[in-house]
Chains A and B, each alone.
Chain A
Amino acid sequence: MVDSKHQWKAWLYLSPAIILLLVFTVWPIFNTLRMAFLNGYGNMAAMGGATFQFGIENFLKVIEYDKFLDCLKTTAILCVATVPISTTLALLIAVALNSIKPLQKTLQTIFFLPYVTNSIAIGMVFATMFNIVGYNPVEKVADTWGIINNVIQFFGGEGISWINQGSTYTANIAVMIVYIVWNALPFKILILLGGLQSINKQYYDAAKVDGTPKARVLTRITIPLLSPMLAYVIITGFIGGFKEYSSIVGIFGEKMGPPDDAGRLNTMVGFVYDALEKDRQGLASAGALILFVIILVVTLFNNKVIKKHVHY
């Protein structure tokens, strides 16, 4: 079978993919590594003939830069808060959906809707829901409190500034958590429901014969048999969480923070892109590599924890 004509043909068919991959995937891996270890690398300067010393200055600068630690903090908080909430909610919804017959397809479609949205566009909708229009911070009066504050006030609470001037970091993070969870649910529900539907019905029949209570069925049959899918959504959730960026742009705009404190909610990815646009590619590369290592470590850690609990 393997004759030279076949070889030649295979490489011909593969050539467009290989050329593009070499330029836009393989070369970047080496070049990004190279730039990260060239002190203060910038493309404009490099084009102008400047040379750079080999060293780890970029990494030191990234770590010493206090805003980078803020980015890391925001990213980590968002990750740690949203993944457990969205996974638990998705699991509950998937189990509930799996247990009903009428309306199942309709509800499934509704729960998938946030997936087919543009995260910037719907971020703007969430922003208006939390937004206070015409707010006077001294007299605490506003034309429009925003629907979320209206609901809080309806239940006797007090409206607060979520994303506007004078809002606190905690309030900003709360808004982001709500939005990210809302956005993350569809994918997780889809995967978990798919997993549930592939569980052999015999396990449940056996449990029914034994008269096992529902809660026990959930913890002893459903969750163990679903554990590979749970592991998958948790790991992808963490990876996605560490790359959070555009959902924040959706709500806060490119300022990445409330009007009086721009950049307050910047994330790791945001930091990398800022450095990139300012022609500080060495710094950007170092930041991206640090992000990569963090994701790798978190994933390996997750794998290790999960391996103890996953039943394949």
Chain B
Amino acid sequence: MSNTKTMNVMQERDVRTRTIGQKIFKVLGKTGTYIFLLVMALIILFPFYWMIISSLKTLAEYRQAVPTFWPRQIMWGNYAEAFTKANLGDLFMNTLYVGLVSTVLSLVITVLSAFAFARLEFKGKETLFGALLATMMIPGELFTITNYITVNNLGWMHTFTALIVPFLVSVFYIYLLRQNFMQIPNELYLAAKVDGTSDIKYLWKVMIPLALPTLISITILKMMGAWNSYIWPKLVANDAAHQMITNGLRNAFTDTTGQANYPVQMAAVAIVSAPLFLVFLCLRKYIMQGVSRSGIKG
């Protein structure tokens, strides 16, 4: 009798120590998780921190053998210098112009095509759609070579047209929007037809508002694309009047050795990076949604 009692007590104690052990283990695990995540977050953030503090240092302070982690004297003047040196004002306007025009035209084309594929019946619809999707598998470099020749032969070299027109149609955006349009019940369209509503009015009043999140995602990705494009503009429009912001930034600071003014360079990089961050912080949801569905960068 007493034996079983002691055994019970022992077991209880055993269970208690085990739960305490598990709790300690759990807390340790959680702490470990947080430490890991925070360290990784610091590594991710470090380049941004380094960019900002370097951009605010004087050249003398930047060149010190022992680095400082906070500028002793904050040099806002670096930003003004960067802005004029890299001619960021003009680059900004060029990029904004190309981005806005290509976004608007691209949205119109995408909406019209997606509408045709989602709502209208015509011969060869499935075949055509399948053929469009098939082109998505081919790497862009194959197109670039011929498009470079086409743009050249059309006399579009060093024009905004060359930067805008070849990329207006994205099969992927058509696909994305078509999926979205197909979720809208067909009855709505037929009812609108009975009432004598025109297609355009129906699109504008019903379909576009319902597909707005997709359209916003497309807009952001398209603008980001213009902001980050580098290779194509370098090939077809790398002159001062049409230069895009990334090309201008890279060209303004080619000197990787010697006496380059790195704080000014970092200030220019910070200015170029800032708009993207602002857009991201405001429209985080749309960007992350758009990216996870499309899997493309810009």
B54 close to chain A: CB less than 8 A:
yes
Counting chain A CB atoms within 10 Å of each CB, the highest count among B33, B142, B146, B169 belongs to B146
Does A276 lie within 8 Å of B145, measured CB to CB? yes
**CA A182 to CA B168, docked complex, whole Å:** 30
Q: Which of B45, B132, B174 contacts A113 (CB 8 A)?
A: B45
Stretch at the interface among B4-12, B120-128, B211-219: B120-128
B257 close to A143 (CB less than 8 A): no
Q: What is the CA–CA distance of A191 and B290 in the complex, to the nearest angstrom? A: 12
Q: Mark B62-74, 1 if CB is under 8 A from A, else 0.
A: 1111110000000
B54 CB → nearest A CB, Å: 6
- List of A residues within 8 angstroms of B29 by Cβ: 214
Contact (Cβ within 8 A) B230 A292: no
**A194 interfacial contact with B, CB 8 Å:** yes
Minimum Cβ distance to chain A for residue B82 (Å): 12
Main secondary structure of the interface of A (DSSP, over half): helix
The CA of A24 and the CA of B138, in the complex, are separated in Å by: 13
Our pick among A6, A24, A47 for the contact of B120 (Cβ within 8 Å) is A6
- Bound-complex Cα distance A32 to B108 (A): 29
Residues of A within 8 A of B63 (CB): 133-134, 143-144
- Indicate if the CB atoms of B256 and A246 lie closer than 8 Å: no
Give the distance in Å from the alpha carbon of A291 to the alpha carbon of B291 in the complex: 25
Instruction: Compute how far the CA of A9 lies from the CA of B150 in the bound complex, rounded to whole angstroms.
Output: 30
Which residues of chain A come closer than 8 Å to B149, judged between CB atoms?
A: 31, 43, 281
**Inter-chain contact count A-B, CB under 8 Å?**
264
> Smallest distance from the beta carbon of B160 to chain A beta carbons, Å?
16
Given contacts A17-B109, A92-B36, contact A291 B141 (CB under 8 A): yes
Measured CB to CB, the residues of A under 8 A from B are 1-2, 6-7, 9-11, 13-14, 16-17, 20-21, 23-29, 31-32, 35, 43, 47, 89, 92-93, 96-97, 99-100, 103, 107, 109-122, 124-129, 131, 133-134, 142-145, 147, 150, 163-165, 182, 185, 187, 190-191, 194, 214, 232, 236, 239, 243, 245-246, 249-250, 252-254, 259, 269, 272-273, 276-277, 281, 284-285, 288-289, 291-292, 295
Are A125 and B51 in contact, CB atoms less than 8 angstroms apart?
yes
Q: Which residues in chain B, 245-260, are within 8 Å of chain A measured between CB atoms?
A: 246, 249-250, 253-254, 256-257
B112 in contact with A147 (CB, 8 Å): no
B152 within 8 A of A: yes
B67–A273 CB distance below 8 A:
no
Which residues in A have their C-beta under 8 angstroms from that of B254?
253-254
B contact set with A: CB distance below 8 Å? 29-30, 33-34, 36-37, 40-41, 43-45, 47-48, 50-51, 54, 62-67, 108-110, 112-113, 115-117, 120-123, 125, 128, 132, 135, 138-139, 141-150, 152-153, 165-169, 171, 174, 199, 224, 227-228, 230-231, 235, 246, 249-250, 253-254, 256-257, 262, 265-266, 269, 272-273, 276-277, 279-280, 284, 287-288, 291-292, 295, 297
**A150-B284 Cα distance, complex, nearest whole Å:** 35
Give A276 Cβ to nearest chain B Cβ, in Å.
Answer: 6
Cβ contacts under 8 Å, B125 to chain A: 10
Residues of B within 8 A of A120 (CB): 228, 230, 246, 249-250
**Considering the chains assembled together, what is the distance between the CA atoms of A121 and B45 in angstroms?**
15
A114 and B250 in contact, given A17-B109, A129-B50 (Cβ under 8 angstroms): no
19 further interface pairs, Cβ-Cβ under 8 Å (given A20-B109, A182-B47): A9-B199, A14-B112, A16-B168, A25-B169, A29-B143, A43-B149, A103-B37, A112-B288, A118-B228, A121-B272, A125-B48, A145-B65, A245-B231, A252-B256, A269-B231, A272-B141, A272-B144, A285-B145, A292-B141
Task: Find A121's partner among B108, B123, B246 (CB 8 Å cutoff).
Answer: B246
Contacts of A10 in B (CB 8 A): 116, 120-122, 125
Residue on B with the closest CB to A144?
B63
Q: Determine if A2 and B122 form an interchain contact, defined as CB atoms under 8 angstroms apart.
A: yes
Chain B residue, CB-CB nearest to A1: B121
With a cutoff of 8 Å between Cβ atoms, the chain B residues found around residue A295 in the complex are: 139
- Which single member of A122, A144, A276, A289 contacts B144 (CB below 8 Å)? A276
Chain B residue contacts of A11, Cβ below 8 A: 116, 122
Q: Can you show 19 pairs from A to B with CB atoms below 8 A apart? A: A9-B120, A17-B113, A20-B166, A24-B166, A25-B143, A27-B146, A100-B37, A113-B45, A114-B44, A115-B297, A116-B277, A126-B47, A165-B257, A191-B292, A250-B250, A259-B257, A269-B141, A285-B145, A288-B144
Per CB-CB distance, the 10 closest pairs between chain A and chain B, nearest first, are: A28-B146, A10-B122, A10-B120, A13-B116, A13-B112, A116-B280, A17-B113, A28-B143, A31-B146, A125-B51
